[in-house]
Structure 1
Amino acid sequence: MSNFSIRGRGGRGRGGGRGGYNNGRGGFNGNNNNGSGAGFQGNNFGSGFDGQADGPVQVSMKGWEGGTQDSLFKFLDRKLSTPAQIMDSHIQNDIMYITVPNQIIAQNLLKLSGIRFAGNKLTLQVPNNPVKFGTMSTPGASAGSSSMDIKDKLVALVQTRADRQGVTLDLSNLVSDPIIVSMGADPLHSGKIYMAILTVASQMYPNIITINLANNALHSLKPVADLGFRFSKLRNLSLANNALSNFRELDCLSAKGSTDPLRELVELILEGNPMRDQELARVPDGSTYINEIHQRFPTVSMLDMNPVTPVAQPGSAPRNTGSTAAAKNKKLPFPTKPSFVENTEIEQLANGFIAGFIGLYDGNRADLGNVYDANAQFSLMVDTTHPTSASAQNDPRSQKRVELSAYLSISRNLERAKGATKRINTLICGNQAIVQALMKLPATRHPMQDAQKFSFEAWQTEIPTAGASQAAIVVNLHGEYEEPAAASTLSFDRMFVLIPTVPGSPAAMAGWPCAILHDQLTVRRYNGFENWQAGADQAVSATGASAAAGSAAAQFSGLVGEQLAMAQTLQAHSKMNAEWTLKCLAESNWNYQQALATFEQARAQLPPAAFQ
């Protein structure tokens, strides 16, 4: 969890983005909530050109926060017949104000109102009364202001920006702060205001450990280079939605360029800065991005709200992290094993469930509606990064271009789905809606007869329900499947949360001992199956998925696809041996429901030899 807890304080006239930090959109939403406002309020926006003479025109934009400022400007230029020629820009809470050379360009921009950018709908207007942003001056330079007046205002500013405990300081979006405006200071162009604020804040609140500097259009961190000197115990820092274009800008806060580096830094947020976006576009798996950060701040364990492994403890001297390639070549201190299953009962249930589910998924997805609970949730994430396993580097299945559009249309990859609407719409709820979504995905064929291509983990847990908790089993399945129509092979991970069936429910009526409450599917280009293979000198655990699946496949030799899945599922439910399981299915003409009913009717009369 993030340690940030600053929220917007709209009631004080500053706003705070949308009231909560969500993927770099402004404000913070962490464990402790110290603010109470709802963001920017109080401005009325018109739609015409009243009050603006021919010449530069100011245009306001809302809904742009899903992307960076640079990507927004490039997007607008692509949509216009002629470039927007943006002269300057200012961000005030969740509104961006841009100035364009003339009314013609402004009118063309207004025609784009309603268009979607980075998952959100843009709203463009021309203010009836253009918002004025003060010219640059520094504390003490405002006409008629004494140095004492300036200090009093800085004290008041810090008081409104710090939490009650004096450990968190919100310095986001300073350009719109009424105290800053009254001083005639423009933090977008002068670093002296930051130095003055940090000096006053360190005197008033020496125990600050969290600072938010988001949404300040910072091109350089030199104005805040004193952070380590002023706040040596700083643990959490947000620089989100600024204009930092090079990782070297961070050096002035690290041992690379400062005698007082941030040695205690644990959490860092850089979303919305060009340097981050460019590096992730270049290497999407984030390995080089994380390495750039750890070279400067080896103690960081939370980066952009995502956990990362630190290379040093807070307070320790930084050490050389080495190259990314060298890090990847380091071996784990323990051998890789193929699977983990908590006990034999869970293994049997998981084996039967997987076989039955995959059989229906490949052969008749419409019947999966009985397997999902009425309140079930399904989400799919497409991982578009390049395969990393050594074997995949030379495997044509990994190198083949794969069409993923059917998956991307409902992908809930939170690294890419920034907007709240997108995240809500791609969380599919209810068994009928889930089945409809699954049926739109490409037809598949899982090579279940080849046990080494699959691995799973399964364990029991408890999940919260209304006023109580409920026993559940987590099944985490890894493997591969083919898309016959496209002649492609993909790798996947699928995590199920299973709950006991309710008597009379569709799952119980269909003979399933459990129902799916949560189903999370990750699809990626083919990456092989070596990652879960045990070493040659290791014996595979008797409870491992490979051994179990191989044993089942051997017992039902000659069966494939739906018949194999049906046999494994019936055996797991009935505990009959392979001979009697096949006899029951054959006498029922391979109708699973009929075979299940036949077994239940004959259970008491079956000889001991029929069971395992």
Structure 2
Amino acid sequence: MSYRGRGRGGGYNNQYNNRNNFSQQAVDDFVQQNSVGVEILGWNGASPEECINFISRKCKIVVSNHSVEPNTGILKGYVKSMNQANDLLNWSGVKFAGQSLRITKAASADSFSSKMGVSNPNTGNAIEALSHFLKSRYQPEIKLLNLSAVKQDPTVNAGGFFNSNSTSSKFFPALMKVATDLKLDVVSVDLSGNELQDLSTVSTLAQTFPTLQNLSLVNNNFSRVKSFEIWKNKLNYLRELLLVGNPINDGANGNGNVKIDLMKIFPRLVVLNGEIIRNEQALKINLTFPFGTPASMFFQDEEIQNMAPNFIANYFKLWDSNRSELMILYQNESQFSMQVDSSHPHLIETNANASYASGTDFGYYIPQSRNLTRVSSAKVRASRVATGPEAIFKLFSQLPKTRHDLMTKPELFSMESYRYPQLGGIMITIHGSFEEVAQPDNLDALNTNGPRGRFNNNKKKIPLSKKSFDRTFVVIPGPNGGMIVASDLLSVRNFSGTDAWNMSDRSVSAPASNVPTPQSTTPVPGAGAPGAPGAPTPTTADLPPEIKSSFNQIQQEVLVKILLETKLNLQYGVMLCEQSNWDYQQCTINFKNSVATLPREAYL
């Protein structure tokens, strides 16, 4: 074979020119096909350009060709790949210009139609058909989405969505994707008359409408309660379920007690086939975390305030009753570790809690404690991190059974929760106490793993006692609208009361001092003793002259408010305000973060 002549003559040059033109077109096509659209809300505290620049700096992801949709105010743009889009979604919730950005992937007409298998040259027809169908079936006045007898609908038939098994299986997930994009406010869904035998084809309903309250599955083919387990821990707000016209109501299919089984799957189910099956008022009390002491709670925003307490209330209810049911929250990458703090500073003081301190035994906890000040071996440190559901449950079963009085005595607990934008989730930290009510289930594993001689040869029963704890969860979104615990850290210590966050406890327990109070720690004149009957409420007029001359009227008002709420003396009150730039909200946050380390002389 001869290579002579290659690169010469017009033939090659023409081919090169054609190839060059083709390559440019191919590049343009490639860029277009590999650009993933993203949509951003909550940016309008600044300009679109400032938002895009912020994302570039903060998230290290470039959003190109951005524009603002006039009707909706959505900021749209493109990133280079699906991986970048997924990474950017993890930053949804990050603060920008005083607001939280909400970042989602934009719907793609081309990919959508190809996934649906609709052979229509107009790639937007599939989305348009589904959008038209949803809008015609949605009743906004009662927030009802009527999806009954879908196959008989003329719009669906004209679109060819049920021409084959492959397109039929993709229809409902695609429908839910369009419903998400339309942002329909749905409380009730009617799925009657759709020949459903199980929930496999409609499972994404729980992801699209996680707060759904009413659902009709009338005149389908459900025959087993087990069919509904796919929605366990997902439709947690479902109140009413209609199953009339299904074989499951016949009672001859080995279903046992259908009502009880369905109540286990749907924790807020009250009405089944028109019959009230449990007391709704009592149910709300049991499933709602009572905010009896708002001063001891902090939440970054209203969404977290709705999410975190319910998660904590349900988590500890299962922790105290059946820890195996918590395993659905842990995935293969989830981690749990526990550490014992046996030298808490509170124990140095001799007070009413000393009886707890003197009799506390941490024998059940020490074998798996990962206290980094006590455990120096890298190998041991690594071995005491449980990763994955199996290892985590094994460690759970080695800890004593407990009782947390979250629902009956919320004042015994303090909680704070923030967004965790790196994973698109939230961080929840709760402080409080628990009663040990029984020894661990898995004593054999505990004895095997414990230090030699500590458990193996000691048959003495370890006494149970009341203990304080701190626990931090990192909770991230899971599949189908569920939640996943990515990280779980538990610290156990001697019982130390609620002085750290309960102001009334602190003022009562603070010992009287015979030492004269220096001028720098003089309380506000006219304030009287905290809580004393008839004590006048101090105002800015009661502040010492040197304070009035140093600070303006607004600063004086902030100072008086802080002194009243924190019971700090004048010196520490001024210090707190100055370090918080005289911002009242920041003062309360800084006080909460440092209250456990303040000396007694900081208070009146």
Greater relative contact order structure (CA < 8 Å, 6+ sep): 1
**TM-score, normalised to structure 2's length?**
0.30
Q: Which has the larger radius of gyration?
A: 2
